[in-house]
Amino acid sequence: MRSLVIIFLFYLLIYWIIRRSTSDASQTINGTVFINGTVPIGRIDDDFVCATLDWWPPEKCDYGTCSWGRTSLLNIDLNNPILLNAIKAFSPLKIRLGGTLQDRVIYERNNQQPCNPFVKNESDFLGFSQGCLPMSRWDELNIFFKRTGAVVFFGLNALSGRTIDSQGSAIGAWDSSNAESLIQYTVNKGYTIHGWELGNELSGRGIGERVAAFQYASDINTLQHIVQKIYAGSEVKPLVLAPGGFFDANWFAEFIDKTTKSLQVVTHHIYNLGPGNDEHLIDKILDPSYLGGESSSFSSLQSILKKSGTSAVAWVGEAGGAYNSGHNLVTNAFVFSFWYLDQLGMAASYDTKTYCRQTLIGGNYGLLNSHNFLPNPDYYSALLWHRLMGNNVLSTSFSGTEKMRAYAHCSKKNTLGITLLLINLDDQTRVEVSVSTDNQNGTSSSQDRKEEYHLMAKDGDLQSPVLVLNGKTLIVDSSGAIPPLEPVYTNMSDSISVAPFSIVYVHIPNIDVSACTI
């Protein structure tokens, strides 16, 4: 009798699963994306998408997992064909060189020997000794960046010359001599660095150590003086960026107020999902109210910049979502594209000019797999953004469900036209989306076509590291070539069908709004 009951319950479970998949998952609702095309609400850089390369050695471990492998600036294989092709595909990709250990890096000088790498030492802060960048490696990196066409920004050691008190406050001014020698060497060699950033996560309360806003401002004035002196004969000079830390409204306001003539880019970091071992990461990623929470930081920084009178612009200098290297099969899986693309859309809508993903490769949150260099889903998500989303950001809202996130930009492919980004966080509901556009100039024919790029997880598994584009699994070939990202074409008169747990880019070439002519 007991066995019959067990068999009955088993078949009842199977019936429930089938019923759920054939009924609930087939629910369809209608929705409308509203676009105000009068004026843009923000403007991004052409190379808005940025990624980082870090210093962490293979011994860097979190929660018992060592996820970095050989992805450090000091040891990554610069001849890997997938890495080369992945960067070249962006033409160009912004790359920020930096991270937690950058404030413990010294730069080799002719009279400085030996030049030792980072060594694991639990008694040192963050578990590693001071490390050194050999100029021979700096040469190799710059040759690599030239081959790939990358646009490079370098994070300098901001703790040089300071002492740290028992409360974690950095005492004294920045000793700029070592940084100045690196910058001078770089110029003498003819290497192109597009910006020099000072410090990593030392603003506000800092991460373990911190620098007061007034002192940081003084140090930035010093860096600006060095850049102006060394690049005196250059028509185009590198940008000066700072502070590369977590947003703190009072600290940032004071810092920006004191650097109105010496700072071109204000950089801040985002890890709003919490620690990488959080068991609720996926729940947070799929919660639209949680995703929207970061808007307050973007809004506050935008307000500070407007009121300060500075010409500096905002960048997200580093964002990995979940700190301490992320979480395997979450921050390197399809589900993370929901968070990542929503971040790109939100940041752009608050006039953020560039967004740097932690990392290009390294940890569990890389655009590329840390061990085999193969692209993770977010790599393709980012490449599509780079190719489709233009400079001018359009005011966008969505009606029909709270589970849909919607963003729109003027098209990057043509002067006319717009591109939509639609993110469906619902696991059961397909949304048929229509587009309503204010201030549209002219009309489009029902015979006109739009380009659609539907992104889904392989086999419907949100934690899959494999992306499916328009029904086709994206695979790097044996030569390391990045696969083509091809659209499907639909009539203008057709609604945009957004499947459950999917992301859709839509390029609509025949919508002409005033904001796209500015």
Which residues are marked as active site? 201, 318
- Residue 316 and residue 45 in contact, taking contact as beta carbons nearer than 8 Å: no
CA distance 264 to 313: 6
CA distance 481 to 288: 35
Distances (CA, A) of 57 to 365, 470, 488: 16, 38, 43
CA distance 136 to 148: 19
Provide the angle, in degrees to the nearest 10, between the axes of the packed helices 295-308 and 336-349. Answer: 20
Give the whole-angstrom CA distance, residue 14 versus residue 24. 15
CA–CA dist 82, 76 (Å, integer): 12
Q: Hey, what are 443's tokens?
A: 């009309």
3 state DSSP class of 53: strand
CA-wise closest residue to 408 among 430, 433, 425: 433
Provide the Cα torsion 230, 232, 235, 240; round to 10°. Answer: 50
Helices 177-188, 135-148: crossing angle, 10 deg rounding: 50
| Residues 6 or more apart in contact with residue 508 via CB below 8 angstroms | 411, 417, 418, 419, 420, 435, 450, 492
What letter does residue 461 receive in the DSSP assignment?
A: -
The secondary structure of residue 205, as a DSSP letter, is T
The sign of the CA dihedral 241, 245, 247, 249 is: negative
- DSSP secondary structure code for residue 48 in this structure: -
Contacts 24+ apart (CB under 8 A), 458-463: 458/334, 460/501, 461/334, 462/282, 462/333, 462/334, 462/335, 462/501, 463/282, 463/329, 463/330, 463/333, 463/334, 463/335
Q: Is residue 26 helix, strand or coil?
A: helix
- Distances in Å between the Cα of 386 and the Cα atoms of 48, 354, 441, 465, 486 are 7, 11, 26, 21, 14
Q: Are 49 and 345 in contact (CB under 8 A)?
A: no
What burial letters (b/e) apply to 242-259, b meaning 16+ CB within 10 Å? bbbbbbbeebbbbbbbbb
Residue with tokens 């963050």: 126
Other Cβ atoms closer than 10 A to 157: 25
